[in-house]
């Protein structure tokens, strides 16, 4: 394994609990990586506060800072590149990435989805909507999927998955809580395996 730490950029929109877990895992040495920059499309996101507390550069980039989508795409790409980012992790980021960012970081953008893809993915499938759909479908298990981001919502190759049993009295909120706890575990483990070379993202993309 290289002595050079994997440089991560995190994009988030809200609370940033997955961001915090990734930061903590890097600081503890569990992951041979470091979070170089955090980008939020919401200036009031708790994720921004988490980044500031950790001394990590953070930026609010959104349609409010860049009215034209193309300009926003350029700004996001430039910010990631300027901070030497090698792997991009979406942590509750609620916007679709532009083509420049995806082209520059092809096969190097990860997202965490609170269900077992390819089921229960796609546009509009986020938050409690996902868990309600899983329960409405009568599934016996749900779970977490880490996948490579491409131009379509929740579509890219799955990198790793972890199952979460559905309980008889589950509501969307209770299921969401248990799934989120597993997101924290799986996201860190997956990034750890990417940083160590155990997971080859190029190889996964070719297999898809």
Catalytic residue numbers, as ranges: 113
Task: Count Cβ atoms below 10 Å from residue 115 Cβ, excluding itself.
Answer: 24
State the pLDDT at residue 205.
Answer: 65
Q: Who contacts 55 (Cβ-Cβ below 8 Å, separation ≥6)?
A: none
pLDDT given for residue 2 in this prediction: 45
Query: Contacts by 30-33 with C-beta closer than 8 Å and gap 24+?
Result: 30/188, 30/192, 31/6, 31/188, 31/191, 31/192, 31/195, 32/1, 32/5, 32/6, 32/192, 32/195, 32/196, 33/5, 33/6, 33/7, 33/8, 33/87, 33/191, 33/192, 33/195
Q: What pLDDT, on a 0 to 100 scale, did the predictor assign at position 101?
A: 97
HEC states along 6-23? EEEEEEECCCCHHHHHHH
What pLDDT, on the 0 to 100 scale, is given for residue 1?
A: 38
The answer to whether 135 and 175 have CB atoms below 8 angstroms apart is yes
DSSP string, 51-84: HHHTT--EEE-STTT-SSHHHHHHHHHHHHHHTT
How many C-beta atoms lie closer than 10 Å to residue 181's C-beta? 12
The domain segmentation of the chain, as residue ranges, is 6-114+145-161+182-207
- With beta carbons less than 8 A apart as the criterion, state whether 75 and 57 touch: no
pLDDT of res. 19: 96
Of the options 3.40.50.170, 1.20.120.450, 3.40.50.300, 3.20.20.70, the CATH number for the domain spanning 6-114+145-161+182-207: 3.40.50.170
Q: pTM score, two decimals?
A: 0.93
- Tokens 């080859």 belong to 200
Ordered DSSP codes for 17-49: HHHHHHHHHHHHTSSSEEEEEEEES-TT-HHHH
pLDDT score, position 204: 79
Query: Average pLDDT of each block of 10 consecutive residues along the chain (208 residues)?
Result: 81 94 96 97 94 97 96 98 98 93 97 95 90 96 96 92 96 97 96 95 74
Distance CA 21, CA 11 (A): 14
């Amino acid at each position: 394994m290289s002595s050079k730490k994997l440089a991560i950029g995190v994009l988030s929109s809200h609370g940033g609990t997955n961001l915090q877990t990734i930061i903590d895992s890097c600081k503890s040495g569990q992951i041979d990586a470091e979070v170089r920059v955090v980008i939020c499309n919401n200036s009031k996101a708790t994720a921004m506060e988490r980044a500031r507390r950790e001394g990590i550069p953070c930026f609010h980039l959104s349609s409010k800072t860049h009215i034209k989508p193309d300009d926003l795409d350029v700004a996001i790409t430039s910010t990631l590149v300027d901070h030497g980012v090698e792997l991009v992790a979406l942590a509750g980021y609620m916007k679709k990435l532009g083509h420049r960012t995806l082209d520059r970081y092809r096969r190097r953008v990860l997202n965490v989805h609170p269900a077992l893809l390819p089921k229960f993915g796609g546009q509009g499938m986020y938050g409690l909507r996902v868990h309600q759909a899983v329960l409405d479908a009568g599934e016996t298990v749900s779970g977490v999927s880490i996948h490579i981001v491409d131009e379509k919502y929740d579509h890219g190759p799955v990198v790793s998955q972890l199952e979460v049993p559905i309980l008889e009295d589950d509501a969307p909120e209770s299921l969401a809580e248990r799934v989120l706890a597993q997101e924290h575990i799986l996201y860190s483990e997956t990034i750890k395996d990417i940083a160590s070379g155990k997971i080859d993202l190029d190889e996964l993309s070719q297999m898809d």
